[in-house]
Chain A
Amino acid sequence: MTRTFLGMPATAPAGVGQLRGEESFPAAARRSLADPQLRRNLGHATRTIRAKSAGVIGELPDWQELRSAGSAIKADVLARLPELLEQLEAKVTEAGGVVHWAADANEANRIVTDLVRATGSDRVIKVKSMATQEIGLNEALAEAGIEPVETDLAELIVQLGDDRPSHILVPAIHRNRAEIREIFLRAMPEVDPALTDEPAVLAAAARRYLRQTFLHTKVAVSGANFAVAETGTLAVVESEGNGRMCLTLPETLITVMGVEKVVPTWRDLEVFLQLLPRASTGERMNPYTSMWTGVTPGDGPQAFHLVLLDNGRSAVLADEVGRQALHCIRCSACLNVCPVYERTGGHAYGSVYPGPIGAVLSPQLTGVADNASLPYASSLCGACFDACPVKIDIPELLVHLRAEAVEARRRPTAESVAMAAAAYTMDRPRLYEAAQRAARLSRLAGRRGRGLPPPLNGWTGSRDLPDPPAQTFRDWWAER
C-alpha cells in the first residue's frame, strides 16, 4: 500500500464551520471602516493590551531566547507530527482517555454529537475554543437538539448578543461596557434590571447567571492549548475559572484539538507557559492553568475523550513555506499590533481566525481560492512578525500566499491583465518608450491624475499615478 493510497493532504471542506467569509475582505472592511464606535472600541482595547504586554515582556531578560526556543519546538513538532500524535494517543489511552481522529469539521462534529448523545445530556458547557468555532460545533449540536452554553465571558456576550466573535482572545473586543450592559439587560434571563456598566458588576452578573448551569451540566466541551506527547497531559490556559468549572465539574469531558497543538515533552511547557500569557493578555501568568492526564479516579470527569482534528491542517503542513502558520499558539499579539486589524476589526476577515495570523492561516486551511483576498489584508509593515512569540514570519507568508492567489485565479482580473501588459511592454524597449511618452503627453494634455491608457488603467484605477516627469529617463540618457 502506498502513502498516496492513504490520502493526500486535504483542505477544510466548505459548507461547515467558520473559515470562509460571505464577502471579500475589502468589501467587508469598507463597512467596518464606516463604524466609528467600532474603531474607538478597538483602538482603546488594542492600545491597552499593547502597553500591558510590553511591560511584562520587558521584565524578562531572556524573551528573545524563549521565542527562539518556542519557534524551534514548533518546527520540531511539525517535522515529527505523525509520530508525536501516535505517542500522544498511546499515553492518553494508557491514562484512561479515549482518542478519536477527525479528518474534517463534519467528522469532528459527528463524533462530538454522538458522544454527547451517548451521555443522555441535552446540554453541554463549553470553554472558549478556537477549534470548535472553526468547525461550527455549536451549530451542529443545536441541530441535534443539544444546547451549547458558552461560558467564557466574551463568548457569552457574543452568544447573548447573537453576534460573531471578532478577536481570538477577546471575541467581544468590538463591544464596549455600555453595549455589553445593554446585551445583558436584553438577553440574560433573570438579570438585575439595575445592572450598571461597571466591568466588575457585569462580571458578577455572568457569575450568577452561569453558576447553576456549571453545577448541573453533565458534559463539557473544551479546546486545548497544549498536549504533551511524552506524558499524555492536556493543558488549558484561562482567566475566569469557567475553564476550571468545565474541566472539573462534569462527568464527561470532550476536548477538541487541532493536531498541531501537540508538543513533544513535559519540559517544553516551560517555554510556552512563559510566552503565551505575556504575549496574549499581557500578564506574567494568566489566573488559571489546568493540566490533566487522562482520568484521575475520584477527581474531575471520569470519562475523557480527545478528538484530534485535521480539517485542512495536513494541507498547510504540505506547504514548506506556509506550514509555519501552524506554529501559532493563538495568543493574538499580531492582531493587537496590526494597523489594518485596528481599523477593520475581526469580522472583516470572515474566518474565526482574524488579523495577520488569520490572513495567512485561513487561506491555507481552505485553499487560497476560497479566501483569495485575505493575503492582501495587510500593509506588510512587519509589526506582527516582531510581536509573534513563536516568530512566525507573517509578512513572508503573506507574499508567498499572494503569489499563490494570483496563480489560483482562473479568470484574469484587471490587476493581472495590467501587470501582464506592463511586463510585456517593459520587455520591449520601443513600446516602453512609446508608453512613457504617451504618459508625458497625457500630462501635457492636462489629463493629470486620470491614469494610464488601457489596458494599463487596470493598475491606475485604484492607485494614484505619480506625475510623469517632463522628460523620460531614456530620453535624458540618450541626450548625454
Chain B
Amino acid sequence: MSSRDLVLGRLRAALAEGGQPPVQVPRDYRPEGTLDLDQLVERLTDYRAHVHRVPEAAVADTVAGLLPAGATVVVPPGLPRAWLPSEVTTLTDDGLDNERIAAADAVVTGAAVAVAETGTVVLDGSPDQGRRVLSLLPDRHVCVLRADQVVATVPQALARLSPHRPLTWISGPSATSDIELNRVEGVHGPRNLHVILLP
C-alpha cells in the first residue's frame, strides 16, 4: 500500500462514523469598504514606510532624491523608463545574478494592488515588477503605485489578484518581533521602503 493510500485511508476512516454533515460558511464580514487614500498613507507610514504623493511627471525627480549620488538601481524589464532619473546607473533585469542584485543601492518597481486598511502593497511579477528576487535583495525598495490600484480591504485585493502568479504582500520594511515582542525594522528584506503614490 502506498503512503498516499494509507494517509487518505486513515482520514476516511476517521470521518466514517456518523457521516459528515455539510458545513455552511457564514460570510457576514465586510466584503469591501470605502476607499480612503489618506488611510493607506497613514498605515504605510505607521509601519515605517515612506510615502511620497507626487504627479507622474515628478516620479524620476522623486526617485533621484531618494538615492545617493552615483547610485546603481535594479529595474524590472517592463518598468516605464520615464520613472528613472538620468543620473543613476540602471541595471535592467535580464537574468542578473543574485550578487549583482544584492550589491545595487535600490530597486524600483511598479505594483499590482494595494490595501488601504492594512497598509499593504502587493507585487505579482508583472513586467513592471519583475522576478521576486529583485525587490528582495537591495536594501532600498522604491515602489510606484497608481491610485486606481488601491482598494480598501483584503477581500477586494484577493479578488483582483491571480493565484497563478507568484505574489509578494509587503507591509512596511522588513521587521521582526522576535526580541521581547517589540517590532524592530530591518532584518533580511529591504530596510527602506518608499512608496510613490500617483494620483
The residues in B between 1 and 17 inclusive whose CB is less than 8 angstroms from any CB of A are 1-17
Closest chain B residue, CB of each to CB of A314: B10
| CB-contact partner of A72 in B5, B25, B115, B184, under 8 A | B25
Decide if the interface of chain B is mainly helix, strand, loop or mixed: loop
Q: Are B25 and A314 in contact, with the CB atoms below 8 A?
A: no
Is A269 an interface residue when CB atoms closer than 8 A count as contact? yes
Interface string of A240-256 (1 = CB under 8 A from B): 11101101110000000
Q: Are B180 and A239 in contact, with the CB atoms below 8 A?
A: no
Q: Are A249 and B133 in contact, with the CB atoms below 8 A?
A: yes
Closest chain B residue, CB of each to CB of A85: B8
Q: Are B169 and A288 in contact, with the CB atoms below 8 A?
A: yes
Query: What is the CB-to-nearest-CB distance from B70 to chain A, in angstroms, rounded to a whole number?
Result: 23
Is B23 an interface residue when CB atoms closer than 8 A count as contact? yes
Given that A157-B178, A239-B176 are contacting pairs, would A82 and B167 also be in contact in the complex, using a CB cutoff of 8 Å? no
Name the segment of B55-63, B84-92, B118-126, B142-150 touching the other chain.
B118-126
A-B pairs, top 4 by smallest CB distance, nearest first, are A6-B9, A241-B189, A241-B188, A240-B187
Name the segment of A173-181, A344-352, A465-473 touching the other chain.
A173-181
Given that A200-B185, A248-B136 are contacting pairs, would A170 and B1 also be in contact in the complex, using a CB cutoff of 8 Å? no
Number of interchain pairs (Cβ within 8 Å): 274
Is B109 an interface residue when CB atoms closer than 8 A count as contact? no
Interface string of A261-277 (1 = CB under 8 A from B): 00000110111011000
Instruction: Give the docked Cα–Cα distance between A468 and B188 (Å).
Output: 65
| CB-contact partner of A287 in B22, B117, B174, B178, under 8 A | B174
Query: What is the CB-to-nearest-CB distance from B123 to chain A, in angstroms, rounded to a whole number?
Result: 10
Is B34 an interface residue when CB atoms closer than 8 A count as contact? no
Name the segment of A14-22, A315-323, A374-382, A402-410 touching the other chain.
A315-323
Given that A240-B189, A267-B158, A314-B14 are contacting pairs, would A288 and B1 also be in contact in the complex, using a CB cutoff of 8 Å? no
Name the segment of A24-32, A148-156, A430-438, A443-451 touching the other chain.
A148-156
Q: Are A289 and B169 in contact, with the CB atoms below 8 A?
A: yes
Q: Are A177 and B180 in contact, with the CB atoms below 8 A?
A: yes
Using Cβ atoms and an 8 Å threshold, which residues of chain A touch B5? 6
Count of chain B residues with Cβ under 8 Å from any Cβ of A? 77
Closest chain A residue, CB of each to CB of B24: A72
Closest chain A residue, CB of each to CB of B125: A299
| CB-contact partner of B119 in A204, A245, A285, under 8 A | A285
Is B65 an interface residue when CB atoms closer than 8 A count as contact? no
Which has the most chain A C-beta neighbours within 10 Å: B14, B125, B175?
B14
Q: Are B26 and A86 in contact, with the CB atoms below 8 A?
A: no
Q: Are A315 and B154 in contact, with the CB atoms below 8 A?
A: no
Query: What is the CB-to-nearest-CB distance from A464 to chain B, in angstroms, rounded to a whole number?
Result: 37
Q: Are A61 and B30 in contact, with the CB atoms below 8 A?
A: yes
Interface string of A82-98 (1 = CB under 8 A from B): 10011000000001000
Q: Are A248 and B133 in contact, with the CB atoms below 8 A?
A: yes
**Can you sample 20 A-B contacts with CB below 8 Å?**
A6-B13, A81-B11, A85-B11, A100-B3, A101-B4, A153-B187, A199-B182, A215-B102, A231-B164, A241-B190, A244-B168, A248-B132, A259-B11, A270-B155, A281-B177, A284-B117, A299-B132, A300-B131, A310-B11, A314-B11
Is A353 an interface residue when CB atoms closer than 8 A count as contact? no
Query: What is the CB-to-nearest-CB distance from A310 to chain B, in angstroms, rounded to a whole number?
Result: 5
Is A37 an interface residue when CB atoms closer than 8 A count as contact? no
Given that A172-B178, A241-B189, A285-B119 are contacting pairs, would A103 and B13 also be in contact in the complex, using a CB cutoff of 8 Å? no
Closest chain B residue, CB of each to CB of A266: B163
Name the segment of A43-51, A135-143, A415-423, A455-463 touching the other chain.
A43-51
Using Cβ atoms and an 8 Å threshold, which residues of chain A touch B26? 65, 68-69, 72
Instruction: Give the docked Cα–Cα distance between A169 and B99 (Å).
Output: 31
Q: Are A3 and B16 in contact, with the CB atoms below 8 A?
A: yes
Closest chain B residue, CB of each to CB of A296: B166
Instruction: Give the docked Cα–Cα distance between A317 and B12 (Å).
Output: 10
| CB-contact partner of A296 in B10, B12, B24, B125, under 8 A | B125
| CB-contact partner of B10 in A153, A199, A310, under 8 A | A310
Instruction: Give the docked Cα–Cα distance between A151 and B178 (Å).
Output: 12
Using Cβ atoms and an 8 Å threshold, which residues of chain B touch A266? 158, 163
Q: Are B13 and A102 in contact, with the CB atoms below 8 A?
A: no
Using Cβ atoms and an 8 Å threshold, which residues of chain A touch B99? 215
Query: What is the CB-to-nearest-CB distance from A396 to chain B, in angstroms, rounded to a whole number?
Result: 18
